[in-house]
Amino acid sequence: MTTRLYTHPVFLEHLTPPGHPERPDRLRAIERVLDDEAFSALDRVKAPEGDEATILYAHPEDFVARIRAAIPESGIVSIDADTSASPKSWQAAVTAIGAANAAVDDVFEGRAANVFVAARPPGHHAEKTTAMGFCLFNTAAIAARYAQKKHQAERVAIVDWDVHHGNGTQDIFWDDPSVLYCSTHQMPLYPGTGAKSETGVGNIVNAPLAPSTGSETFRDAFLSRVLPSIDAFAPDLIIISAGFDAHHRDPLAEINLTEDDFDWATGQLIDRAGRHSGNRLVSLLEGGYDLQGLAFSVAAHVGRLMKG
Ligand SMILES: [Zn+2]
């Protein structure tokens, strides 16, 4: 068994306005770096068509209808100040969900040791009833609920190391003790949530990082807050909301991580998945806006997933 990688050409067809950081070139940079011989053992699979009904696992029907109605026939429309949609955005978002759910199937049915989903748009800012922060639907939240419904997972942990707080994931699971949400993120920074005092029903663990900090504070937050919470929770599945915008080159934030930190954090979660989750680990791309920082970080992350 090896690491599986889901991609799909439609992920390049979700278009954002000129100069927008969340752009198709992000996936092209990832594709180029994973073309290297070092990744020849990756099990590359085209993402399946998503099942639209699974969007309802995390969002109400009227919200889903509102997003569908907002998709333009041509051009690009604004959903909010940062979030936009183009004609193929619906298909891209639903295919991202299809890939994440298929990844859950793969790790529960033994088709892959672990899985990385290189999709866009990202998802962790999408709240139950609000699309925001470049996100339309909350892919990680849907995949967690999918694991519970389809594979009888009792407890799912979502670990979010994107530099922005995943307000959407927190919102969706705020009063749901069957899902643990752990986030490291810069604070203060968009979207403004993610204080340590936000704990849900004891299932939300926020580890805010001060601007200009780096490897040491990140690893300390992981060791002192994230990993002990996972150990206490003993999840049946770990999902990573894998944003790479805490990299020191990233233009949207001021945290100074390197590729080595993502390698290390990946290793820690592989270890926890081995201890608690039957090795079941699914990683979903979120942010990461410097193309070189993103590509090198994804290479370190996927390389570590492949080592197992
Ligand atoms: Zn981010």
Residues 129-138: tens digit of each pLDDT? 999 999 999 9
User: Tens digit of pLDDT for each residue in 206-256?
Assistant: 999 999 999 999 999 999 999 999 999 999 999 999 999 999 999 999 999
Instruction: Average the pLDDT over 262-268 and give the result.
Output: 98
Work out whether strand 77-78 and strand 84-85 pair parallel, antiparallel, or are unpaired.
antiparallel
Sheet with 179-186: strands ordered across:
43-46, 3-7, 114-117, 281-285, 237-242, 156-160, 179-186, 204-209
pLDDT of res. 261: 98
CA of 137 to the centre of ligand 1 (A): 15
User: Tens digit of pLDDT for each residue in 204-217?
Assistant: 999 999 999 999 99
In terms of Cβ atoms closer than 10 Å to its own Cβ (0-12, 13-18, 19+), residue 243 is buried
Give the residue carrying structure tokens 């999709």. 119
Peptide bond into 188 cis (omega under 30): yes
Catalytic one of 125, 165, 247, 276: 125
| Portion of the chain with pLDDT greater than 70, in percent | 100
CA distance 223 to 229: 10
CA distance 246 to 189: 12
CA of 110 to the centre of ligand 1 (A): 31
pLDDT of res. 64: 98
User: Tens digit of pLDDT for each residue in 68-113?
Assistant: 999 999 999 999 999 999 999 999 999 999 999 999 999 999 999 9
Structure tokens belonging to residue 301: 């992350």
pLDDT of res. 1: 80
pTM to 2 decimal places: 0.99
Give the residue carrying structure tokens 């993120």. 185
Let me know if domain 3-307 sits in CATH 3.40.800.20: yes
CA of 198 to the centre of ligand 1 (A): 19
CA of 152 to the centre of ligand 1 (A): 30
Beta bridge partners of 257: 247
pLDDT of res. 129: 98
CA of 1 to the centre of ligand 1 (A): 31
As a dihedral over the C-alpha atoms of residue 33, residue 37, residue 41, residue 44, rounded to 10 degrees, the angle is: 40
3-state percent breakdown (helix, strand, coil) of the chain, nearest 5: 40, 20, 40
Closest CA to 22 of 120, 115, 99, 161: 120
CA distance 163 to 297: 13
What Cα–Cα distance (Å) separates residue 278 from each residue in 53, 213, 238, 267, 275?
28, 34, 10, 15, 7
- Average model confidence (pLDDT) for the chain? 98
Give the residue carrying structure tokens 């759910």. 101
Q: What angle do CA 201, 215, 29 make, to 5 degrees?
A: 95
Give the residue carrying structure tokens 């009888």. 152
CA of 254 to the centre of ligand 1 (A): 12
> Which DSSP helix (H) or strand (E) runs through 29?
helix 25-34
The torsion angles phi and psi of 64, rounded to 5 degrees, stand at -60, -40
Residue ranges per structural domain of the chain: 3-307
Q: Is 125 a catalytic residue?
A: yes
As a dihedral over the C-alpha atoms of residue 278, residue 104, residue 168, residue 175, rounded to 10 degrees, the angle is: -60
What is the DSSP secondary structure assignment for residue 194, as one 8-state letter? Answer: -
